Chain A
Amino acid sequence: DIVMTQTPLSSPVTLGQPASISCRSSQSLEHTNGDTSLSWLQQRPGQPPRLLIYKISKRFSGVPDRFSGSGAGTEFTLRISRVETEDVGIYYCMQTAQSPYTFGQGTKLEIK
């Protein structure tokens, strides 16, 4: 199974400041067609997960442009350029390159 490791597990951030979450996979997530099946999900308190970023860096419909994704191979990063109150929640990376699909442990973003 592909293991997804996120760091940090907790991230206290000041409003208006940037935040960054890393995700490492134990194997490459790149398909032979060049696509990489790495997504980022946001789960606000009491809400279901919501897709933010797919294929490393593509923003899902309706996602603010302060969210961005980057990376390649086995190292990926989610960045929030200026944290807002509504960004509080848990963020997960997810790989759908190989079954069983796996998730990172989750990173809790909170406001200082």
Chain B
Amino acid sequence: EVQLVESGGGLVRPGGSLRLSCTVSGFTFNAWMIWVRQAPGKGLEWVGRIKTKSEGETTDYAAPVMGRFTISRDDSENTLYLQMNSLKTDDTGLYYCVLLAHGEDHWGQGSLVTVSS
């Protein structure tokens, strides 16, 4: 069974930083991975993507997070990361990691990030 487990969420002040992790089991980690977020009561928003190690771990990001968020991966640990800096109140929400498997995508359960003073 494929499992994606996010961790690292919590309460942080505006301007602060947080790092989310997503550990994958039951599936080869050699796949593109993305982060998706959902503000309270709102729809889904793509945050960014990282390609495989053989593709140079190329990343790209949504405009609202570009320059503040960084996606990385550690294939030896089957773990995906999202480093979030200069956090804003608008960044509050549930953050999901998603493993892209040629359409047969697998979603995590989400990690809650609350940015508030």
A residues at B contact (CB < 8 Å): 35, 37, 39, 41, 48-51, 54-55, 58, 60-61, 90, 92, 94, 96, 99-106
Chain B proximity of A92: nearest CB distance (Å): 6
Contacts A48-B96, A49-B96 given: A102-B46 contact, CB under 8 Å? Answer: yes
Tell me whether B62 and A54 are in contact (CB under 8 A). no
Tell me whether A48 and B105 are in contact (CB under 8 A). no
Cβ–Cβ < 8 Å partners of B44 in chain A? 41, 49, 92, 94, 103, 106
Alpha-carbon gap, A60 to B103, bound state (A): 9
Q: List 18 A-B contacts (CB under 8 A).
A: A37-B103, A39-B105, A48-B108, A48-B109, A49-B44, A51-B105, A51-B107, A54-B103, A58-B103, A60-B104, A61-B104, A92-B44, A101-B34, A101-B46, A101-B49, A103-B44, A103-B45, A103-B46
Interface of A is mostly: loop
Tell me whether A49 and B107 are in contact (CB under 8 A). yes
- Does B93 sit within 8 A of A, measured CB to CB? no
Contacts A54-B105, A100-B62, A101-B34 given: A92-B49 contact, CB under 8 Å? Answer: no
B residues at A contact (CB < 8 Å): 34, 36, 43-46, 49, 60, 62-63, 94, 96, 100, 103-110
**Which of A94, A96, A105 has the most CB atoms of chain B within a 10 A radius of its CB?**
A96
Contacts A99-B60, A101-B34, A106-B43 given: A48-B49 contact, CB under 8 Å? Answer: no
Cβ–Cβ < 8 Å partners of B105 in chain A? 39, 51, 54, 96
In the complex, besides A50-B107, A60-B104, 18 extra interface pairs with C-beta distance below 8 angstroms are A35-B103, A39-B103, A39-B105, A48-B110, A49-B96, A51-B105, A54-B103, A54-B105, A96-B103, A99-B60, A100-B46, A100-B60, A100-B63, A101-B46, A102-B46, A103-B46, A105-B43, A106-B43
Contacts A100-B60, A100-B62, A101-B34 given: A48-B107 contact, CB under 8 Å? Answer: yes
Alpha-carbon gap, A49 to B108, bound state (A): 9
Tell me whether A99 and B108 are in contact (CB under 8 A). no
